[in-house]
Amino acid sequence: MAILNALWGGLPLLLPLCVVLLAFLGYCLYIKYLHLKYDHIPGPPRPSFILGHSPIFLDVMKKDELVHDKFREWAETYGPVYKINFLHYVIIGVSCPHATKEILMSSKHPKDKFLYTRLFNLFGQRFLGNGLVTARNHEQWYKQRRIMDPAFSSLYLRGLTGTFNERAEKLMDKLTEQADNGTEANMLSLFNYVALDIIAKVAFGADLDLVKYTSPFPKAIEMCMRGMVHVVRDVTFAYFPKNWPFIDEVRKACRLLRETGAQWINARKAAMHNGEDIPKDILTQIIKSAGQEESMTKEDEELMLDNFVTFFIAGQETTANQMAFCMMELGRHPELLQKVRKEVDEVIGMKREINNEDLGKLNYLSQVLQETLRLYPTAPGTSRDLLEDEVISGIHIPAGATCMFSSYTTGRLETFFKDPLKFDPDRFHPDAPKPYYCYYPFALGPRSCLGKNFAQMEAKVVMAKLLQRFDFTLVPGQTFAIKDTGSLRPMSGVPCTIRHRQN
Ligand code: HEM
């Protein structure tokens, strides 16, 4: 009797425990079912039943290595389709060009739920929300993209060359100073400043003049990017108190960007109300995409901030990193540096203002920039959810999996590029065969980069001016490794000594 009483007394405690245990068992059975469903697909051994391959990623991150090198290694070992697991998620690494074309060129496969919904918030603070990069719902995305398109039309972009020139000149002033003083220049941070200066001016009509002044924005962007990596790759990160100070900083950085967005949007709205002459820039389009002022909801306002942050980050980081990698490779290849400089001299000579016609003639510089993105695709890939069964490279992929496409992987596979680690801009010579769905640094299809032409115009103006006026040497002893901050950047920061050109 006493035993029975004790058992009854303990029941309120035992019951929830049983429920949790049963739920856990049910979850394990579900994972087992998924393993059985997808285990005909080749892939690396799973180190953990529940966590799948995630311990491998955590180890890579701990060593500050590149997770994309693992993807490349697996594509080399297991072929054009390989499978990785994480909890109840099944991710299929795809390097088959035909499937890349079919899946990315179609709008029937939504962006991957696991990744893109995680970028809605960073540790509870709204981040990219439902903005252009992260919107998964086709209608919601299409409405925004259609409104944003005019700010990226070739006609509109051609009118921006003057601003690109003017902002790039500020970087040239800074480099002149460094050449005069003989001080070392951290090129990544200078490119970050100029790219942010350009996007702030061109997209939002704001004068930051960052090359001259210190600003909290580059650091805030970096914190958000670092936060993103943890949110996406380590689901347990927020549970460890030692990470809380970092999380706090990420939240603050995110808030700074959104608050800045709110201020700039309000200032622009006031200018609109006052009948001032306003540019048809990205900020105007962002405001338009939110609808009429009278019927604007709280969510519409949040959506404007989502897109503000989206453009602030997407419009800066990737281009700055591309220019830094480009400088790193030119510094390592004096013969290519000489060749591209010869072209710059022939096309722009001593001119300060580079015009659209000049940009069209800088073909070798374009090739150098394209080759830079083959080895260093600064936004290394994208992913889609499969809503229907597919057959990829003869392997049946049941619906429900996520397909991951990595331009980093395909760009470095011998199957697609001979001697893949060699930096060779002639791969992109107009007479060379075009890479077939194995080179997509701006993604492909309807969700491809909206800012591709913008970015490449900007990179060409900045690099052409720099090559026109300066000589540089990479500071010896620096690493040429890649740092993974969600986007890829040169780990060293590309320190250089800058000199005025003598010839
Ligand atoms: C070298 C520079 C750049 C690279 C390598 C790059 C790469 C990419 C990639 C790979 C995507 C697809 C992302 C995904 O699927 O998750 C993307 C999307 C996007 N990028 Fe870029 N980007 C660059 C510069 C820019 C610039 C300068 C802007 C704006 C001024 C921009 C705006 C966007 C937007 C709005 C999207 C989302 C498009 C959509 O889904 O409709 N990007 N970019």
158 token code pair? 């051609």
Give the pLDDT confidence score for residue 279 in this predicted structure.
85
User: Ligand 1 centroid vs 436 CA: distance in angstroms?
Assistant: 20
User: Ligand 1 centroid vs 136 CA: distance in angstroms?
Assistant: 15
Q: Mean pLDDT over residues 9-23, rounded?
A: 79
Indicate which residue's Cα is closest to atom 43 of ligand 1: 449
Q: Mean pLDDT over residues 150-157, rounded?
A: 90
pLDDT digits (tens, 9 = 90+) for 329-373: 999 999 999 999 999 999 999 999 999 999 999 999 999 999 999
Do the domain assignments include residue 99? yes
User: Ligand 1 centroid vs 495 CA: distance in angstroms?
Assistant: 27
| CATH code for the domain in which residue 89 is found | 3.30.43.20
Phi/psi of residue 306, each to 5°? -55, -45
Q: Mean pLDDT over residues 231-250, rounded?
A: 92
Do the domain assignments include residue 95? yes
Question: Of 235 and 262, which is predicted with more confidence?
Answer: 262
22 pLDDT more than 60 = yes
Give the pLDDT confidence score for residue 6 in this predicted structure.
58
Do the domain assignments include residue 234? no
Is the C-beta atom of 449 inside 6 A of ligand 1? yes
Residue 318, H or E segment: helix 317-332
Q: Mean pLDDT over residues 457-469, rounded?
A: 98
4 pLDDT more than 60 = no
Length of the chain: 503
**Minimum mean pLDDT range among 2-16, 120-134, 358-372:** 2-16
Q: How many domains does the chain have?
A: 1
Indicate which residue's Cα is closest to atom 11 of ligand 1: 449
User: Ligand 1 centroid vs 157 CA: distance in angstroms?
Assistant: 16
Q: Mean pLDDT over residues 291-303, rounded?
A: 80
36 pLDDT more than 90 = yes
User: Ligand 1 centroid vs 3 CA: distance in angstroms?
Assistant: 67
pLDDT digits (tens, 9 = 90+) for 173-184: 999 999 999 889
Give the pLDDT confidence score for residue 10 in this predicted structure.
65
Report the atom number in ligand 1 closest to the C-alpha of 141: 41
262 pLDDT more than 60 = yes
Residues that constitute the known binding site for heme = 449
Is the C-beta atom of 322 inside 6 A of ligand 1? yes
Is the C-beta atom of 319 inside 6 A of ligand 1? yes
Report the atom number in ligand 1 closest to the C-alpha of 459: 1
Give the pLDDT confidence score for residue 339 in this predicted structure.
98
Q: How confident is the model at residue 3 (pLDDT cuts 50, 70, 90)?
A: low
Do the domain assignments include residue 139? no
Tell me how far CA of residue 462 lies from CA of 9, 126, 352, 414, in angstroms: 75, 33, 11, 32
pLDDT digits (tens, 9 = 90+) for 43-58: 999 999 999 999 999 8
Amino acid at 46: R
Handedness of CA 170, 174, 175, 177 (dihedral sign): positive
Report the atom number in ligand 1 closest to the C-alpha of 148: 35
Question: Of 316 and 294, which is predicted with more confidence?
Answer: 316
Do the domain assignments include residue 53? yes
Do the domain assignments include residue 398? yes
Range of the domain at 404: 25-106+382-420
Q: How confident is the model at residue 300 (pLDDT cuts 50, 70, 90)?
A: confident
Is the C-beta atom of 386 inside 6 A of ligand 1? no
Indicate which residue's Cα is closest to atom 9 of ligand 1: 442
Report the atom number in ligand 1 closest to the C-alpha of 152: 30
Is the C-beta atom of 447 inside 6 A of ligand 1? yes
Q: How confident is the model at residue 232 (pLDDT cuts 50, 70, 90)?
A: confident
The percentage of the chain sitting over the pLDDT mark of 90, rounded to a whole number, equals 79
Do the domain assignments include residue 366? no
Give the pLDDT confidence score for residue 194 in this predicted structure.
93
473 pLDDT more than 90 = yes
Strands (E), 366-478: 381-385, 390-392, 395-397, 402-406, 470-474
User: Ligand 1 centroid vs 57 CA: distance in angstroms?
Assistant: 25
Q: How confident is the model at residue 210 (pLDDT cuts 50, 70, 90)?
A: low
Is the C-beta atom of 441 inside 6 A of ligand 1? yes
User: Ligand 1 centroid vs 428 CA: distance in angstroms?
Assistant: 21
Give the pLDDT confidence score for residue 17 in this predicted structure.
84
Strands 482-485 and 89-94: what pairing?
A: unpaired
pLDDT digits (tens, 9 = 90+) for 98-111: 999 999 999 999 99
Indicate which residue's Cα is closest to atom 39 of ligand 1: 447
Coil, helix or strand at residue 471: strand
Residues that constitute the known binding site = 449
How far is it, in rounded angstroms, from Cα 68 to Cα 487? 11
Phi/psi of residue 348, each to 5°? -115, -15
| pTM, to two decimals | 0.93
Q: How confident is the model at residue 296 (pLDDT cuts 50, 70, 90)?
A: confident
Strands 89-94 and 81-86: what pairing?
A: antiparallel
Give the pLDDT confidence score for residue 212 in this predicted structure.
62
Do the domain assignments include residue 190? no
User: Ligand 1 centroid vs 47 CA: distance in angstroms?
Assistant: 34
What is the SS3 string spanning 197-222? Answer: HHHHHHHHCCCCCCCCCCCCHHHHHH
How far is it, in rounded angstroms, from Cα 404 to Cα 74? 13
Is the C-beta atom of 93 inside 6 A of ligand 1? no
Mutation test residue for ligand 1: of 449, 457, 462, the one with most atoms within 8 Å of CB: 449
2 pLDDT more than 70 = no
The percentage of the chain sitting over the pLDDT mark of 70, rounded to a whole number, equals 96
CA geometry: angle 473, 478, 484, nearest 5 deg: 120
